Structure 1
Amino acid sequence: MTTEIDPITLGVIQNGLQQVCNEMDLAFCRAAFSPVIAEAMDRSDGIYAAEDGALIAQGDLGLPVFVGTMQYGTQAVIQRVSNPQPDDVIICNDPYLGGTHLMDVRFYRPFFYQGELFCWLANTGHWPDTGGMVPGGFSARATEVEQEGLRIPPVKLFKQGELDPEILAIIQSNIRIADQRIGDIQAQAAALKIGDKRLTALLDRYGRDTVAQAIAELRARAERLMRATIADVPDGVYTGEAFVDSDGVVDEPLKIAMQITVKGDEMTFDMTGSSPPCRGPMNSVIATTRSSVYLAIKHIFPDVPLNAGTYAPLKIIDPKGTFLYAEYPRPVSGCAAEVSQRIAEAVFAALTKAIPDRLFAAPAGSSGNFALGGYDPDKQRSYVMYVISGGGYGGHAGGDGLTNGCSTIGISKSQPIEVLEQYYPVLFERYALAEGSGGAGQHRGGFGINYRVRVRRGEARASMVMDHGRTGPQGALNGSEGGANTVRFDFKDGSTHTPLHLSKEQDITVRPGDVIDVCTPGGGGYGNPSNRDPQKVQDDIRKGYYSAEQSAARFPIKGSE
């Protein structure tokens, strides 16, 4: 008969598992070569169950969108990799096997304790390039996944600790800046090795059976707490929607139709009324679609601990026949960074009707994916620069939205511009708030940012897959939408170019002196703007957030409309 684990031991093991993941996160970002991993922290590490790949723990510094995808990716590895051995490391970036886009490369390491497989350690890192039509992989006009880059099935890159030179050669022969990727590969593998060492120490201290019992109990408790939290939400059917600007090929918006049924202690999510599969790269694989729902719920209920039990009460109907259930060979480069955030926005919009005091207006909801690839004649080497940027968060019942917050899907931050200028032949002439971009409301939205980057040396190719260029993030409870995303090319000869698809474009040739100007979205407003405290309206004018004319138009004095 199994004895109940005491609460002190349970708490210590819970924090011990978390610490293993955190140390993997830190080791990965500190050793990685790419600024997008080392500085922007576009990566994640976690521990997953041996039998079904279920999430056991994920690092505090990991991207939330990878919570679901790495779980499903581990399941795919378990199904496809036979006879894993100690010190093996499996690589995979296939989006249809529990992934996101091709640039998110996943490593999996089987963890053995006393000769038996106990669990899997896994991480994901965003590589700056994996081949394809354009530098950086964000091809706005791709119509099949092969145009987006190299697709790697689950294969052993390290076999019992030894790097396979033949598989490495295949990878390096199909990506740009291949000589720099070995640093990221070694960093990614080393992080898992550190996780192996730390987890071994935890099991040595408490024993295999006690740790396994703790994992099962933590999963059960997370499920009970999530069920209790859902039970406080009024039963009913709630609908919301969000729109993707376009797919990059056909200039028409894509609709995400969200229907959430709350019944007792469970929620059911139905997106089957969404737009059909699209030609361009804004399709979403099912792992990313599910993970987007999970992270949205975690935003709303942040106090529920994170493991597979957290999501047991969340039932997601597979939206087959829509662009949210991409199958080979649909292109998917925009799914993780952009479509995922529209899915979360639709969840927020639906549940605002059920629990408005716990919700908020829509955040910027775009990672601002911008890639620049070219040749630096001074350093005599090619480069691929990938930039992500923040935006405004939506207003909420407690106050105004956060300015220049990270994307909805993660904790990724903009790389320091000083680092980017050191690595690449560019100069950031402006990096400031996008004044006026916060949506009006009783509690206004936060502001996006405006940056201008000038090419200093050599010819380059610019591509971007962003969103919220057609409309800004939606407001809540009569709040106004936030400012939309804008992109403009200012060429040295005096001409300008605005992308046809507003926030999506590829292969724009830029030369020394040319400038790319980007304004990211502001958050939506929460509540009627006429109810805003007049002193706060004046403070915003004084700080330059809005002009007097903007403020008068957006924040009418109550009773004077």
Structure 2
Amino acid sequence: MTLAPPLDPVLLSVIQSGLRQVATEMDVVHEKTAFSPVIAEGLDRANGIYDRVTGEVIAQGDTGLPSFIGILQFSTQHVIRLRPDLEDGDVIIVNDPYLGGTHLMDVRMLTPFHYRGRLWCYLANVAHWSDTGGMVPGGFTSTATEIQQEGLRIPPVRIQRRGEIDRDVLQMVLGNVRVPEERLGDLKAQMSALKVGARRLTELLDRYGADTVDAAIAEFKARSERMMRAHIATVPNGTYQATVYNDSDGVTFETLAIRLTMTVADEEVTFSFAGSSPPCKGPMNCPADLATSGIYIAMKHVFPDVPINAGCFAPIKVERPVGTFLDAQYPRPCAGAAAEVCQRVMEAVFGAMGQAIPERMFAAPFGTSGNFSLGGYDPEEDRRYIMYMFSGGGYGGWADGDGLTNGCSSLSIAKTQPIEVLEQAFPILYEEYALREGSAGAGRHRGGFGLNYRVRLLRGEAKAAFVMDHGVTGPAGLLGGEPGGMLAIELSQGGRRVLPPHVSKGEGYVLEVGDWIQVRTPGGGGYGPAAERPAEAIARDEARGY
């Protein structure tokens, strides 16, 4: 048997960059053609290329959210299993959380990509829609007890058949969402990104040949696996445990425990959630695929140089968390799973790794996306609207420095939408938008600062809802560092100040002209004892007014 000659290293690098560039251009098209600010400005979306047989990730766009690394892979695998009838030119739409999803607002689209008459891969993307119906504008209900209350649940159905949009499915979707014209624009942006991906991928395969690119993909996967195994081998063998908490499920004011056991054995690491809290009544149940994706993202935080593809995650084993709130089953509600529970999964991984390799780790980040939605009617513009915003916070201190201030959530690289854009699009005014004093966890290297903002309604009437976290416990410090400040929310309704009973979660708050909401996001945990903080670092903070 004659072995094929190894691929030229330069050619390998060019093809790897070319595949990533295809996905990245999909990201750009998606961003530039979307209607809603959360996609166009906040970049809450991702695009990628997935294996035609296994559904595994081949490449993801450079600006796509890390939280979707595993999600789009798992979604593609479910579609391969459930829809073997797909043809060239078909596009699937799906937002079912139990099929590789997150929450109903994250809408995925997938299309089989054919090259020279045969299926070569799947192209897929996901975007956060500002609304998918349900009992709360924006979808972030904190009191739902079943998935139907959260919005329209879409199984894997064709939104496009052989290149033609299915008008019946389209009208069914648009008839069940608020502000349908905006949703239509976001839907078409996703479809446009898939078309551009197909065109660019065809050009790449024409240039280098399908067989060569196939061989290169196999080599990329093998190299990523070797790199991840080499990194894991530097972690001392052993079993490490960490327990973290979500504030509540929004219905019952009791904390939800994530109990993680991490076992390192040479070049592999196994994660178990045995002993975590059982399924909950409220919308903080987390699909198992999403919990696994959270572990993948956390491991990429620890070892960021490993290229993203299926090989990166091959040495990482995750036991299915059966019987816990991290294995959501129908009809459990899931609105808070992606932005809040998934980040706490990551925090548990950071905590376990902090025991194993503390000199290379960091204290806990702020750990909440700060989901805030406002839906109402603007009489000046004579239109209904839904504003969805996420906010930043502090990262944890680490061995070589202080934590990042007002960073994006640890599961994403989505950025807070510019307040000037939000004020232009919606009848609101940001009266304050500043660093949050006192929120950074003290330590030899302190955590980063959180954010303090106040938004006031200028016109009409609106309903506010929020699903946030870390309002009961602050982000943990490491090696004697102190925790970061906890999240706090306050509202003014008709001059009366209101504090949410669940601290970080609430809905149904009717706002009239002049009413406001104030949010103070958490800071990051400190690293090392505060007594060891260098005098020059203290002086620098004082000079900056921190």
Class of the TM-score when normalised by the shorter of the 2 chains: over 0.9
- Supply the AA of the counterpart residue of 2:221: R
Question: Is structure 2 residue 296 aligned with structure 1 residue 298?
Answer: no
CA deviation digits over 1:191-226, x for unaligned, max 9?
010000111011001111000000011001111111
Aligned to 1:559: none
Residue 465 of structure 1 and its aligned partner are, at CA, apart by 0.3
- Cα distance between partner residues in 1 of 2:230 and 2:326: 29
Residue 5 of structure 1 and its aligned partner are, at CA, apart by 1.3
- Cα distance between partner residues in 2 of 1:242 and 1:60: 30
- Cα distance between partner residues in 2 of 1:99 and 1:358: 32
- Cα distance between partner residues in 1 of 2:474 and 2:222: 40
CA deviation digits over 1:149-173, x for unaligned, max 9?
0000001101122111100110011
TM-score normalised to structure 2 length: 0.99
Aligned to 1:168: 170
Question: Is structure 2 residue 504 aligned with structure 1 residue 506?
Answer: no
Aligned to 1:549: none
Aligned to 1:527: 528
- Supply the AA of the counterpart residue of 2:545: G
Question: Is structure 2 residue 510 aligned with structure 1 residue 515?
Answer: no
Aligned to 1:281: 283
- Cα distance between partner residues in 1 of 2:151 and 2:315: 36
Aligned to 1:111: 113
Residue 350 of structure 1 and its aligned partner are, at CA, apart by 0.7
- Cα distance between partner residues in 1 of 2:461 and 2:399: 49
Aligned to 1:10, the other structure's residue is in SS state: helix
- Supply the AA of the counterpart residue of 2:538: V
Residue 239 of structure 1 and its aligned partner are, at CA, apart by 0.8
- Supply the AA of the counterpart residue of 1:101: H
- Supply the AA of the counterpart residue of 2:340: E
Aligned to 1:464: 466
Aligned to 2:355, the other structure's residue is in SS state: coil
Decide whether the 8 Å contact of 2:205 with 2:213 is kept in 1. Answer: yes
Decide whether the 8 Å contact of 2:478 with 2:528 is kept in 1. Answer: yes
Residue 83 of structure 1 and its aligned partner are, at CA, apart by 2.6
Residue 273 of structure 1 and its aligned partner are, at CA, apart by 1.3
- Cα distance between partner residues in 1 of 2:423 and 2:307: 39
Aligned to 2:42: 40
Report the number of matched residues: 544
CA deviation digits over 1:304-339, x for unaligned, max 9?
111001000001011100000110000001111010
Aligned to 2:370: 368
Question: Is structure 2 residue 353 aligned with structure 1 residue 313?
Answer: no
Aligned to 1:420, the other structure's residue is in SS state: helix
Aligned to 2:334: 332
Residue 534 of structure 1 and its aligned partner are, at CA, apart by 1.5
Aligned to 1:354: 356
Decide whether the 8 Å contact of 1:373 with 1:385 is kept in 2. Answer: yes
Residue 539 of structure 1 and its aligned partner are, at CA, apart by 2.3
Residue 357 of structure 1 and its aligned partner are, at CA, apart by 1.5
- Supply the AA of the counterpart residue of 2:65: L
- Cα distance between partner residues in 2 of 1:52 and 1:186: 27
- Cα distance between partner residues in 1 of 2:537 and 2:388: 37
Aligned to 1:27, the other structure's residue is in SS state: helix
Decide whether the 8 Å contact of 1:247 with 1:280 is kept in 2. Answer: yes
| 1:41-60 aligned within 5 A | 41-60=43-62
Aligned to 1:418: 420
CA deviation digits over 1:116-175, x for unaligned, max 9?
000000000000000001000000000001100000000110112211110011001111
| 1:384-533 aligned within 5 A | 384-491=386-493, 493-533=494-534
- Cα distance between partner residues in 2 of 1:274 and 1:541: 42
Aligned to 2:324, the other structure's residue is in SS state: coil
Decide whether the 8 Å contact of 1:473 with 1:522 is kept in 2. Answer: yes
Aligned to 1:352, the other structure's residue is in SS state: helix
- Supply the AA of the counterpart residue of 1:415: Q
Question: Is structure 2 residue 113 aligned with structure 1 residue 97?
Answer: no
Decide whether the 8 Å contact of 1:272 with 1:318 is kept in 2. Answer: no
- Cα distance between partner residues in 2 of 1:163 and 1:156: 9
Aligned to 2:184: 182
- Cα distance between partner residues in 2 of 1:452 and 1:160: 49
Aligned to 1:150: 152
Decide whether the 8 Å contact of 1:466 with 1:503 is kept in 2. Answer: yes
CA deviation digits over 1:228-271, x for unaligned, max 9?
11111110001111100000000000000011000010000011
Residue 494 of structure 1 and its aligned partner are, at CA, apart by 2.5
Decide whether the 8 Å contact of 1:145 with 1:331 is kept in 2. Answer: yes
CA deviation digits over 1:488-528, x for unaligned, max 9?
0023x431001001010011011000010000110000000
| 1:543-558 aligned within 5 A | 543-545=544-546
Residue 8 of structure 1 and its aligned partner are, at CA, apart by 1.1
Residue 544 of structure 1 and its aligned partner are, at CA, apart by 2.1
- Structural RMSD (CA): 0.7
- Supply the AA of the counterpart residue of 1:188: Q
- Cα distance between partner residues in 2 of 1:202 and 1:171: 35
State the percentage of identical aligned residues. Answer: 57
Residue 542 of structure 1 and its aligned partner are, at CA, apart by 2.9
Aligned to 1:264: 266
Aligned to 1:248: 250
The correspondence for 1:86, drawn from 85, 88, 107, is 88
- Supply the AA of the counterpart residue of 2:172: I
- Cα distance between partner residues in 1 of 2:235 and 2:18: 33
- Cα distance between partner residues in 2 of 1:401 and 1:103: 31
- Cα distance between partner residues in 2 of 1:282 and 1:84: 33
- Cα distance between partner residues in 1 of 2:17 and 2:428: 43
TM-score normalised to structure 1 length: 0.96
Residue 112 of structure 1 and its aligned partner are, at CA, apart by 0.3
Runs of 4+ that moved beyond 4 A: none
Aligned to 1:537, the other structure's residue is in SS state: helix
The correspondence for 1:322, drawn from 324, 333, 344, is 324
- Cα distance between partner residues in 2 of 1:28 and 1:374: 26
- Supply the AA of the counterpart residue of 1:75: Q
- Cα distance between partner residues in 1 of 2:160 and 2:510: 39
- Cα distance between partner residues in 1 of 2:11 and 2:427: 53
Decide whether the 8 Å contact of 1:107 with 1:124 is kept in 2. Answer: yes
Decide whether the 8 Å contact of 2:495 with 2:515 is kept in 1. Answer: no
Residue 3 of structure 1 and its aligned partner are, at CA, apart by 2.5
- Cα distance between partner residues in 1 of 2:422 and 2:523: 24
- Supply the AA of the counterpart residue of 1:447: F
Aligned to 2:245, the other structure's residue is in SS state: strand
- Supply the AA of the counterpart residue of 2:443: G
- Cα distance between partner residues in 1 of 2:360 and 2:106: 32
- Cα distance between partner residues in 2 of 1:82 and 1:323: 31
- Cα distance between partner residues in 2 of 1:490 and 1:537: 36
Decide whether the 8 Å contact of 1:435 with 1:544 is kept in 2. Answer: no
CA deviation digits over 1:23-67, x for unaligned, max 9?
000000010001000000000000000001001001110111100
- Supply the AA of the counterpart residue of 1:423: A
Aligned to 1:526, the other structure's residue is in SS state: coil
- Cα distance between partner residues in 2 of 1:322 and 1:250: 16
Decide whether the 8 Å contact of 2:236 with 2:264 is kept in 1. Answer: yes
Aligned to 1:555: none
Decide whether the 8 Å contact of 2:466 with 2:504 is kept in 1. Answer: yes
Aligned to 2:542: 541
- Cα distance between partner residues in 2 of 1:87 and 1:238: 48
